[in-house]
Amino acid sequence: MDSTWWAVARSEEVTGKKPLSVDIGDRPVVLWRDLEGRPRALEDRCPHRRAPLSLGCIRKEGWIQCGYHGWSYDGETGRVREIPNLKNEQRFSPVYRAERYAVHEAAGFVRISQDTEAAPPQTAVIDMPLSGTVDVALDHDRYLAALFDEPGLLLSITGVHFTTYLMSELHEQGGQLVMERSCQWKRPHWPAAFSSDYPLTLISTTEPLTGETALLLRDRDFRDLLSMRLAPVPAGRGVTSVRWRAAAGAGLPNFAGRALAWLNPVKVHPTVDGAALRKLKPTASVVFDELRRALHPSPAQSVA
């Protein structure tokens, strides 16, 4: 059983009002909140006639109800709790259940795992008020390779230019893949290749299986300007669903920090410039597969 935890939603996307359809690879998943506000996840497939549960609704009991024949499931066990034409039947055989996922919510992300006994993931607890979701027509591995080789193709931070220069190549550190890229402010200056010192650095720490990446933008005086968490998940048809959260200005003096946070400097692009991507030469990403295989001989994508 695959125990990988995928960050398939931001907390605010999962509600008790309307089911949310997501997917991990070709496997559809429905998310919602139960009566107590706990996020629940089932395979987005009614075991009765295979209709997507996400087309149904959430009942006042906190169950999810299929929109086709009205079968209702509780998210905690996945078991059928009610069938409209059999309301006198209070008990159903245990085989009457939808496939359930383990759910864990922390730091603004909802993560799920196919392994219902999986140990909860270790996650950062930092509050990141800025957030967004994009679906990018690029498969998960290529999305990560582009993130390692040229993050500017996938996201932008207002006023910041990502150079091609690395101060630390992609390497393993405590089970994570870490690298550091030099950055400049976007303003008139020497071309990046001729600058003596770069004022900014972007440190990325990537979970090798899921590609979930923590980004930290730091200035030359070691002040944290922006923290970000990017969660790319392989979705259907080779699309990558990317959820992200960010907090800006935490390490800056009062006014500058507040202004940066207010401006929301982060944009994660929903499209990729194909011409630039085609010409992008693999550099940092060259060692990605090798490092990942060393840490996890069986890539998680095979379950997706």
Binding stretches for another protein (CB under 8 A)? 164-169, 171, 180, 192-198, 201, 220-222, 281-284, 286
Nearer to another protein, 196 or 254 (CB): 196
What is the closest distance, in whole angstroms, from the C-beta atom of residue 106 to another protein in the complex? 21
Smallest gap from Cβ 289 to another protein, in A, equals 11
**C-alpha angle with apex 81: 79 to 85, nearest 5 degrees?**
130
**Residue (18 or 171) nearer to another protein, CB:** 171
**Rounded least distance, CB 122 to another protein, Å:** 15
- Which of 183/261 has CB closer to another protein? 183
Backbone angles phi, psi at 93, to 5 degrees: -60, 150
For residues 106 and 130, what is the distance between their CA atoms, to the nearest angstrom?
Answer: 15
Q: Whole-number minimum distance, CB 217 to another protein, in Å?
A: 14
Residue number, 158 or 173, with CB nearest to another protein: 173
Q: Are 215 and 237 in contact (CB under 8 A)?
A: no
Distances in whole angstroms, Cα of residue 90 to Cα of each of 10, 22, 82: 35, 31, 7
- 78 vs 74: CA distance, rounded Å: 5
On whether the CB atoms of residues 97 and 76 are closer than 8 A, the answer is: no
Q: Which is nearer to another protein, 95 or 193 (CB)?
A: 193
Give least dist CB 275 to another protein, A: 16
Residue ranges of alpha helices (H) inside 199-299 are 254-263, 274-279, 288-295
Q: How far apart are CA 104 and CA 178, in angstroms?
A: 25
| Nearest residue to 267 via CA among 158, 109, 162, 135 | 158
Residue count of the chain:
304
Compute the least distance from the CB of residue 282 to another protein, in Å. 5
* Minimum distance, C-beta of residue 162 to another protein, in the bound complex (Å): 13
The encoded tokens of residue 248 equal: 């800006």
- Closer to another protein by CB, 192 or 239: give it: 192
Nearer to another protein, 86 or 256 (CB): 256
Separation between Cα atoms, residue 244 and residue 46, nearest integer Å? 30
Those residues whose C-beta lies under 8 Å from the C-beta of residue 14, and which sit 6 or more positions away, are 20, 31, 32, 33, 39, 110
Helix (H) or strand (E) holding 178: strand 176-185
Cβ nearer to another protein, comparing 36 with 221? 221
State the nearest-atom distance from the C-beta of 168 to another protein, in Å. 4
